[in-house]
């Protein structure tokens, strides 16, 4: 792969359609900004409806091309594995690109890039294990069976917070199944997806199987989600945008798989080691500067240890190091975009107005070395009430609201009093209590005495307004394949053409 941070600086990035990098029809380009400085560092192509149509048609042609359609499942698996190996070989460059593009910590991006190949390997192994089944019927001379086949062209819209990790979760299984793909990365972080496109070529994946169109949601995203050639959509992002995409897809009767917003409850009972629980809460909400859908931004603490816990949480929060994401000693880098910084400040201000108190953080860091960047201090808000706006709406920033609870009944009422249902966490030594919480909390993922632990072998997703559909594990192979029923009558007997043959 020849794309590096150095070669991206000041460059113009093209669309990737039918195995080639190509200019947009309008010849329009948009600047991408470095979150550490607020300055543009490269430009990406603004695709319009004509470019999207070209990408979808390329994917449709690849879907029926014998070079892809007639490839054996085992051979497809080898290509998927090869792509993962190339990601690993280029892990350092890909990590540096994402760090520069969205402000995520370089050490975290390195870890992600080294882990992503395992996901490709896992789904590569699934390629020749997607099996159908034989179904008994009420006639001995009839064979009735199901097969699974590619669902078609999959449209993917991925977020800016961890582009390649989020893309891999659906790209790898879709390739293993035999689907073709049109990807639109977020306009706030396009570079790593385009760098991956280079590796798609090197892996030997046929032209048109993977296409990348870049641009904003209003033009490019809308064109993609209205295109009649898409068989299924994948979206990770806000619930508001998810509703718009689902509405567009519904016009073509196209299903979606969506991971949307979250306002996850993170619970601490008094029987745990306070220091360990504090570290769990800090990691659960401040990692990635709070820019994760599963951020544990509502912290509920048993009343008997509330004061002690808050004191420890505030002390630990003040030791979180805000700094340049490429520095090894940095804990939190900048927010990915200026609008997100404004949004976080607005939520903190609304919390104060409603009666909450800033116990730590609550402002931009006053440091010359961070001037111009979109940095915000990790923030702890106490005297919070669950109905406050900042406790109900997704902030997507390093802000946690903390409030006490008295017993399990009150806790469950508080935890579930939200329109979201993506994740939840609990810290307790009581296994019975932990299992009751896991049973009763309205969330797609529940962590017990840990938080943000992820595994590509496990299916995960949201409930309520946090979305629908599942990613990960074998479940995602079902999500992106289509079941076909086949019936064979081998009796050789003449049939009455006007009688339905009950099976």
- The residues assigned a catalytic role are 259
Confirm if 213 and 184 have CB atoms less than 8 A apart.
Answer: yes
- SS3 string of 223-282? HHHHCCCCCEEEEECCHHHHHHHHHHHHHCCCCEEEECCCCCEEEECCCCCHHHHHHHHH
Rg (the chain; Cα; Å): 24
Strand order in the sheet with 133-134: 133-134, 142-150, 481-489
How far is the C-alpha of 88 from the C-alpha of 115, rounded, in Å? 8
Token digits for 100?
Answer: 């520069």
**In angstroms, how far is CA 442 from the centroid of its own chain?**
20
The size of the chain, in residues, is 503
Token digits for 35?
Answer: 């979150």
CA torsion sign, 385 to 390 to 393 to 395? negative
Confirm if 1 and 198 have CB atoms less than 8 A apart.
Answer: yes
Contacts of 18 (CB under 8 A, 6+ apart): 54, 55, 58, 61, 62, 207, 208, 211
How far is the C-alpha of 112 from the C-alpha of 201, rounded, in Å? 22
Cα separations in angstroms, 68 against 352, 430, 490:
57, 53, 32
Q: At which residue do the structure tokens 């111009």 appear?
A: 372
């Amino acid at each position: 792969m020849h794309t590096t941070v150095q070669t991206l600086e000041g460059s113009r990035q093209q669309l990737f359609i039918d195995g080639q990098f190509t200019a947009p029809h309008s010849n329009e380009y948009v600047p991408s900004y470095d979150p550490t400085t607020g300055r543009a560092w490269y430009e990406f192509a603004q695709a319009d409806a004509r470019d999207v149509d070209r990408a979808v048609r390329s994917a449709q042609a690849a879907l029926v091309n014998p070079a892809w359609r007639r490839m054996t499942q085992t051979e497809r698996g080898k290509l998927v594995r090869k792509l993962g190996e190339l990601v690993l070989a280029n892990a350092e460059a890909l990590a540096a690109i994402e760090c520069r593009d969205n402000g995520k910590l370089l050490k975290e991006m390195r870890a992600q890039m080294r882990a992503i190949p395992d996901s490709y390997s896992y789904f590569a192994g699934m390629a020749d294990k997607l099996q159908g089944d034989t179904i008994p019927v009420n006639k001995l001379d009839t064979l009735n069976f199901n097969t699974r086949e590619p669902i078609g062209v999959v449209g993917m819209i991925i977020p800016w917070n961890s582009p390649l990790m989020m893309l891999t979760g659906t790209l790898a299984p879709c390739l293993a199944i035999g689907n073709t793909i049109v990807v639109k990365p977020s306009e706030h972080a396009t570079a790593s997806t385009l760098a991956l496109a280079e590796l798609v070529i090197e892996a030997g994946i046929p032209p048109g199987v993977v296409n990348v169109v870049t641009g904003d949601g209003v033009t490019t995203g809308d064109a993609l989600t209205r295109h009649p050639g898409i068989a299924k959509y994948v979206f990770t992002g806000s619930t508001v945008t998810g509703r718009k995409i689902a509405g567009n897809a519904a016009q073509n009767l196209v299903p979606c798989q969506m991971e949307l917003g979250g306002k996850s409850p993170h619970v601490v009972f008094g029987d745990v080691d306070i220091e360990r629980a504090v570290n769990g809460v800090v990691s659960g909400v401040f990692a990635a500067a709070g820019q994760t859908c599963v951020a544990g931004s509502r912290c509920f603490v048993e009343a008997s240890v509330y004061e002690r816990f808050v004191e420890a949480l505030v002390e630990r929060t003040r030791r979180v190091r805000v700094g340049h994401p490429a520095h090894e000693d940095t804990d939190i880098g900048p927010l990915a975009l200026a609008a997100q910084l404004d949004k976080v400040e607005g939520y903190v201000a609304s919390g104060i107005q409603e009666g909450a108190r800033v116990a730590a953080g609550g402002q931009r860091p006053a440091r010359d070395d961070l001037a111009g960047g979109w940095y915000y201090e990790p923030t702890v808000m106490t005297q919070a009430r669950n109905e406050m706006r900042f406790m109900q709406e997704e902030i997507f920033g390093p802000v946690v609201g903390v409030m006490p609870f008295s017993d399990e009944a009150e806790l469950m009422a508080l935890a579930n009093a939200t329109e979201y249902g993506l994740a939840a966490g609990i810290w307790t030594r009581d296994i019975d209590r932990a299992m009751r919480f896991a049973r009763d909390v309205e969330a797609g993922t529940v962590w017990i005495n840990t938080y943000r632990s992820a595994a590509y072998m496990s299916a995960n997703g949201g409930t309520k307004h946090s979305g629908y559909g599942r990613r990960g594990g074998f479940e995602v192979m079902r999500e992106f394949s289509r079941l076909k029923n086949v019936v064979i009558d081998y009796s050789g007997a003449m049939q009455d053409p006007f009688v339905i043959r009950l099976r």
